[in-house]
Amino acid sequence: MRAGDTEVYDYIVVGAGSAGAVLAHRLSADPKNKVLLLEAGPAGHPWSRVPLGYAKLMHNAKADWRYKSEPLFGAERRQLHVPRGKLLGGSSSINGTAFVRGQPQDYDTWAQMGNKGWSYRDVLPHFKKMETYEGCGDDEFRGRHGPLRVTDPDWHDPLFASIISAAAEVGIDHNPDYNGAYQDGIAMSQATISRGRRMSTAHCYLEPIRRRKNLNVSTNALAECLLFNYARCTGVRYRIGSDVRDAQAHREVVVSGGSVNSPQLLELSGVGQAERLRELGIEVRRDLPGVGENLRDHFAPRTLWAIGAKGYSFNDRGRGVGLVRQMLRYIIGGKGMFAMVAVPLRAFVRSREGLEAADLLLGWLPMLYDAKPAPKLSAQSGLTCYAHPMRPESKGSIHVISADANDQPAIDFNFLSAPVDAELTVAAVRIAQSIMRAPALRPLEVSEIAPGETLSTDDEIIDWVKATAETTFHPVGTCKMGPDRMAVVDKRLRVHGIEGLRVADASIMPTLISGNTNAPSIMIGEKAADMMLEDNPA
């Protein structure tokens, strides 16, 4: 696959994450297509197969880019952790494993923004194609034969049952399949977990095909820049240790680095805001003002609750002899705390009457934890309930600060800059409080820790949110899809004004979907692969 010192392929995929691994799988299915898959991190990590392994992998340099945001909010100047997977499978190998598609309205909105082919009716076949859903579900909405195994958690737990009953007491019904006909309601979280093991795209899409002779998976390979011949992208320059290599793509290069790394690579390659790039000494290839803009994420306060009754919280079950029992449960049967989705219970709720669909998300973690420097169990028994709007309007940015691919870009979330986001965050916190104060939870002796009963006004709650809230690790939008001036890619994910180059990952989302972003990212990989194969017939 070399011509002189240049490697030659049909397709090059930069980034082996939630979308990139899917692209490598589908593009290499035809043995005539020679495919190079570049991943900046290693092949894997022992903890990446254990669902609870996210607690060991976030902030771990062997699996996580360990990004931090620009300082937030006035005097506090807090920096938030921005974990991003740096290994095969990308963030699907270090995330909390929750499987959420979002609402039909999310995708219909994309189509209405000028992205024909991205309505819910258009993307549903790709969602079905990618999954083997092991729950009951309606076959109209669920897939049964895809690479990715999706399960309902096997939990008959009194804590979750009590919360579901409490939700019913404040008017929130149980929904057994929020990825089915409608999303509203409270439910146990569906997860990319099967038989106690994490179902990352590395495991489900790459492991079965690693022996394909036409696929070269290159790990610890940092892409430094894209290569061009005038207005056509012809390949990628990447580095493995001190060895710098050029790879040529006869057909296409597709960037799948995610919402941080994709705009970073475009800017390092001279694609972005011309004036910004010139100031950094980067030769401008294409002036695209939208590169790195439109950053959106879920900004979520964690409401904290003490539980006086013993044995309900995992702060009780996951310590001492209880921890040994949990380890044995996992080793013997693939069950228990180590096989648990990060947020086992979630509710999709409406902030007010008259809305067509839920606009707020609540999620329960059956423990209190200390987040820094890395997640660990707190000494106090209790649980955590995060609460946030699902479709925030606040927009930030991600931009390179130098021409060096090793330098972290500046990640400026600009949270709560849109007034409606603050209003909806307060509404979400108040709904969480109403559930946790409902009669069904009184036997558990639940009491509020944060924000606390002394914070009662909207302004007091927002001040608490600004001081304590974190992201839910769902950055999107920095290479958004659309026909407008600030769009980076068109409806077929081709970079505007450049031939032979696409972007396919969460960065192309014009708006944030209603929930977690891993499932939609995998769908984007599936749809992108289909479009590339259609546009490049054998």
With bands split at pLDDT 50, 70 and 90, how would you rate the model's confidence at 3? very low
Q: What is the pLDDT of residues 201-224, one digit of tens each?
A: 999 999 999 999 999 999 999 999
- Beta pairing, strands 35-38 & 215-218: parallel
For residue 126, the SS3 value is helix
DSSP assignment of 432-481 equals HHHHHTSGGGGGGTEEEEES-TT--SHHHHHHHHHHH-EE-S--B-TT-B
Cα separations in angstroms, 519 against 111, 179, 392? 19, 10, 19
What pLDDT does 4 receive?
Answer: 46
**Partners of 494 in the beta sheet?**
502
Q: Helix crossing, 120-130 with 518-535: angle to 10°?
A: 100
- 428 has a pLDDT exceeding 60: yes
Task: Please give the Cα distance from 131 to 525 (Å, whole number).
Answer: 13
For residues 200 and 466, the answer to whether their CB atoms sit within 8 Å is no
**Partners of 132 in the beta sheet?**
144, 149
- 74 has a pLDDT exceeding 80: no
**Partners of 421 in the beta sheet?**
none
- Write down the pTM of the prediction: 0.97
- 372 has a pLDDT exceeding 90: no
Handedness of CA 44, 47, 51, 57 (dihedral sign): negative
Q: Please give the average per-residue pLDDT across 152-173, as a whole number.
A: 92
What pLDDT does 494 receive?
Answer: 98
DSSP assignment of 484-504 equals STT-SB-TT-BBTT-BTEEE-
Q: Indicate if 496 belongs to the active site.
A: no
Q: Which residue has the higher pLDDT, 375 or 151?
A: 151
**Partners of 235 in the beta sheet?**
227, 248
For residue 425, the SS3 value is helix
What pLDDT does 373 receive?
Answer: 67
What pLDDT does 155 receive?
Answer: 65
For residue 407, the SS3 value is coil
Task: Please give the Cα distance from 236 to 248 (Å, whole number).
Answer: 7
In terms of C-beta density within 10 A (0-12 exposed, 13-18 middle, 19 or more buried), how is residue 137 classed? Answer: buried
Q: Helix crossing, 458-468 with 419-436: angle to 10°?
A: 100
Place of tokens 């693939």: 334
**Partners of 222 in the beta sheet?**
239
With bands split at pLDDT 50, 70 and 90, how would you rate the model's confidence at 366? very high
For residues 49 and 198, the answer to whether their CB atoms sit within 8 Å is yes
With bands split at pLDDT 50, 70 and 90, how would you rate the model's confidence at 377? confident
- 533 has a pLDDT exceeding 80: yes
- 446 has a pLDDT exceeding 60: yes
Task: Please give the Cα distance from 397 to 290 (Å, whole number).
Answer: 10
Lowest mean pLDDT among 6-15, 315-324, 373-382, 429-438: 373-382
Q: What is the pLDDT of residues 379-410, one digit of tens each?
A: 899 999 999 999 999 999 999 999 999 999 99
- 2 has a pLDDT exceeding 70: no
What pLDDT does 75 receive?
Answer: 63
What pLDDT does 374 receive?
Answer: 66
Q: Please give the average per-residue pLDDT across 10-37, as a whole number.
A: 98
Place of tokens 């669909």: 357
Q: What is the pLDDT of residues 227-239, one digit of tens each?
A: 999 999 999 999 9
- 125 has a pLDDT exceeding 80: yes
Task: Please give the Cα distance from 366 to 329 (Å, whole number).
Answer: 18
Catalytic residue among 45, 203, 298, 474: 474
The helix (run of H) or strand (run of E) holding residue 530 is helix 518-535
For residues 428 and 389, the answer to whether their CB atoms sit within 8 Å is yes
With bands split at pLDDT 50, 70 and 90, how would you rate the model's confidence at 6? confident
Per the omega criterion (within 30 degrees of 0), is the bond before 153 cis? no
Q: Please give the average per-residue pLDDT across 114-119, as a whole number.
A: 98
Helices and strands (DSSP H and E) totals, the chain: 13, 28
Task: Please give the Cα distance from 85 to 53 (Å, whole number).
Answer: 12
Burial 4-36 (b: 16+ CB within 10 A, else e): eeebbbbbbbbbbbbbbbbbbbbbbeeeebbbb
What pLDDT does 15 receive?
Answer: 98
- 197 has a pLDDT exceeding 90: yes
For residue 508, the SS3 value is helix
What contacts 530, CB < 8 A, 6 or more positions away? 26, 126
What is the percent of the chain where pLDDT is above 90? Answer: 91
